[in-house]
Amino acid sequence: MATALAKAADAESVDHAARIEHVSKSFTGPAGRQLVLDDITLDVAPGEFVTLLGASGCGKSTLLNLVAGLDEPSAGSITTHGRPALMFQEHALFPWLTAGKNIELALKLRGVPKSDRRGRAEELLELVRLKGAHGKRVHELSGGMRQRVAMARALAQDSRLLLMDEPFAALDAITRDVLHDELTRIWQETGVSVLFVTHNVREAVRLAQRVVLLSSRPGRVAREWRVDIPQPRRIEDAPVAELSLEITEVLRGEIRRHGQH
Ligand SMILES: Nc1ncnc2c1ncn2[C@@H]1O[C@H](COP(=O)(O)OP(=O)(O)OP(=O)(O)O)[C@@H](O)[C@H]1O
Ligand SMILES: [Mg+2]
């Protein structure tokens, strides 16, 4: 089904990897109805890298979950071509399987024949620079290595769109730096579209071609920036730092306006 969809999309030469049109989302809780996302319109172009930036609780994960199809918008529509791949802060690997078998499972679910799975898993491990780790158990891997395996598993789904929800937030700064480089390289090598959620301004600027800032309560697209700084960037590069400062100022204004801290 997903393959048929992807093929149909190929045939009409798609101009977006995700199209979010006038999307709103409310939740009903003990305190009544809460409008979390209000009239979000946003496209991710094929091959584009977009970061979604905003304060804690502004609705970033809610929006990503809607794009992933894990939940339904209250209003508006979302289209993606084929099923997006997802990666979270927690690696969500199966601890009883080896690194390689975790990837092979994703290949199996995608319908890759058994005889091709091992070879493809090895290739994906090589892509995330974990050659030789096929037989390693999850508990034998460092946090950074686990996120590499999680990345390989997401790529195993062969989606056109990779949705990432703060995937490096739990890592130390140096490991995160290395994984930023790896993600940039993989994005360039594979041509996959990426929608990456973070509340870290520098991370957003380090990675993206476009940074979209969400306001809080309710989440709306407050502003966006095109980032033309050549890749690979370093988080401490002067242009990255400069743009990060500018965005941080706007983000601070948003947070003040909504009485959050
Ligand atoms: N399933 C749900 N039911 C009720 N409320 C929810 C649900 N999911 C999210 N919310 C509420 O929606 C708001 C946005 O949450 P969300 O997790 O999307 O924020 P976020 O921007 O991802 O925050 P963080 O940066 O801390 O991860 C919060 O007020 C949260 O309590
Ligand atoms: Mg979140």
- 67 CA distance to ligand 1 centroid (A)? 15
pLDDT of residue 121: 97
Query: 10 Å Cβ neighbour count for 205?
Result: 27
Measured from the alpha carbon of residue 53, the closest ligand is 1
Q: Could you give the CA distance from residue 216 to residue 251 in angstroms, rounded to a whole number?
A: 10
- 210 CA distance to ligand 1 centroid (A)? 23
- 204 CA distance to ligand 2 centroid (A)? 14
Instruction: For ligand 1, say whether the CB of 148 is within 6 Å of any of its atoms.
Output: no
pLDDT of residue 107: 97
Q: Please name the residues in contact with 241: beta carbons below 8 A apart, sequence gap of 6 or more.
A: 202
Domains annotated for the chain, with CATH where assigned, are 15-84+159-261 (3.40.50.300), 93-158 (no CATH)
Beta-bridge partner residues of 30 = none
Q: What residue owns the CA closest to ligand 1's atom 1?
A: 27
Q: What is the DSSP string of 21-48?
A: EEEEEEEEETTEEEEEEEEEEEEE-TT-
Atom number in ligand 1 closest to CA 58: 21
129-145 pLDDT, tens digit per residue, is 999 999 999 999 999 99
Pocket test residue of 24, 25, 26, 27 for ligand 1, highest count of atoms within 8 A of CB: 27
Instruction: For ligand 1, say whether the CB of 62 is within 6 Å of any of its atoms.
Output: yes
pLDDT of residue 257: 80
pLDDT of residue 82: 85
Query: What Rg, from alpha-carbon coordinates, does the chain have?
Result: 19
pLDDT of residue 254: 85
Instruction: For 173-203, give the secondary structure using H, E and C.
Output: HHHHHHHHHHHHHHHHHHCCEEEEEECCHHH
AA identity, residue 122: E
pTM check: above 0.85? yes
Residues 212 and 53 sit within 8 Å (Cβ to Cβ): yes
User: Residue for token digits 């584009």?
Assistant: 48
Q: Could you give the CA distance from residue 25 to residue 62 in angstroms, rounded to a whole number?
A: 8
pLDDT of residue 9: 47
pLDDT of residue 3: 44
Instruction: For ligand 1, say whether the CB of 29 is within 6 Å of any of its atoms.
Output: yes
Strand 75-80 and strand 193-198: the pairing is: unpaired
Question: Using CB atoms within 10 A of its CB, is residue 61 exposed (0-12), middle (13-18) or buried (19+)?
Answer: middle
Instruction: For ligand 1, say whether the CB of 66 is within 6 Å of any of its atoms.
Output: no
pLDDT of residue 256: 84
pLDDT of residue 4: 43
Q: What stretches in the chain show pLDDT beneath 50?
A: 1-9, 11, 261
